[in-house]
Structure 1
Amino acid sequence: MTRTLILTRHAKSSWDTAGMPDHDRPLNARGRRSAVAIGQWLRAKGLVPDQVLCSSARRTRETYERMGFDTPAEVTDTLYLVTANQILRELSEATGDTVLLLGHSPGIGQFAAEILGEPPDHPKFDAYPTGATLIARFDIDSWEKLAWRGGAVVDFVVPRELLGEQTEE
């Protein structure tokens, strides 16, 4: 049996309000467009999560809402600004077959690099920019068996590719 992980960094957030706590920052206009595009891209690939693990930060919650899936998100403070090891622990408790995990840099990029047997051949993978989304498969029957270097890349994309924009941050 296999498990599928959709690992998404939140879309681009706004820095327009001086002094706003980091946890409360919303998406900016580009981030809102990007989140919709990521959701459409995943649905076009036939991927709909049956479990969603989401950081409690406003920008991650807004990213998920705009992706347009009906699966209720499990929103948790434990995914806000965490390390790769903490993400591994959280994911090891997952129960879905296809899990979408939404988080933050740098932990999410570090986790992506460590969980794969081979990284994708993509120039932006190491940077894991806002909205970056990895689809990985694991030959396991339970997330409890998740191990470093155990994943195989199915696909990786950054929003600018989906929106037809030429440069990346």
Structure 2
Amino acid sequence: MKTLTLLRHAKSGWDDGVARDFDRPLNPKGRRAALTMGRHLRDGGFAFDHVVASPAVRVAETLGAVEDGYGRSLGAVWERAIYLASAATLLDLVRELPADAQRVLLVGHNPGLEELVLMLVADGAAGDSGALRDVVEAKYPTGALAELTLPDGWSAATAGAATLTRFVRPRDLDPSLGPGAE
């Protein structure tokens, strides 16, 4: 059984005046959310043996703040193909993950991450997985993470093959990180 954790970058700053979307940094609320998510990963006993991330500035800054909260480096492999990737591209990346990796963290962007969850977890899935899928379908906000299990390994990842075991948003851990809160 493989475990795939998908982390969307934290809230970025639109008023920073950068020329390219790729270079957009986190805003202060995003930095706080990423730090909070890092602490949640640490306190929840999350462990990863492979981390792959988009090299966009907002993802790199998210990962840096997550590491600060987590208490150690995650040693990410930077993969340009994740930047604004579609669910199909992300699925191809998942299928090519190292066979010996058991617990992978993928850090990237929406809508690709949300669509990947919705593709991998069957619509109408039973129990908690289905209920969590409904929450993801409503909105996969910045800084949120989804944890999925794939029983047949990375190369066998197909539509409907995963179980969604967790979906955590920054606001679930600290209400001041929710919409409208500053």
Task: Confirm whether residue 130 of structure 1 aligns to residue 142 of structure 2.
Answer: yes
Superposed displacement of residue 91, structure 1: 1.1
How large is the RMSD of aligned CA atoms in angstroms?
Answer: 1.8
Superposed displacement of residue 66, structure 1: 1.2
TM-score (norm 2): 0.85
2:170 touches 2:178 (CA, 8 Å); kept in 1? no
* Higher share of residues assigned helix: 2
1:20 corresponding residue in structure 2: 19
Instruction: Give, in whole Å, the separation in 2 of the partners of 1:60 and 1:32.
Output: 11
TM-score (norm 1): 0.91
Amino acid at match of 2:12: S
- 1:14-163 equivalent positions in 2, closer than 5 A: 14-68=13-67, 69-95=72-98, 96-117=101-122, 118=125, 119-122=129-132, 124-126=135-137, 127-140=139-152, 142-163=153-174
Gaps of 5+ in 2: none
Stretches (4+) displaced over 6 A = none
Task: Give the secondary-structure state (helix, strand or coil) at the position aligned to 1:145.
Answer: coil
CA gap of 1:124–1:167, structure 2 versus 1, over 3 A, is: farther
Instruction: Give, in whole Å, the separation in 2 of the partners of 1:22 and 1:47.
Output: 30
Query: Percent identity of the aligned residues?
Result: 33
Gaps of 5+ in 1: none
CA gap of 1:160–1:63, structure 2 versus 1, over 3 A, is: same
Superposed displacement of residue 19, structure 1: 4.5
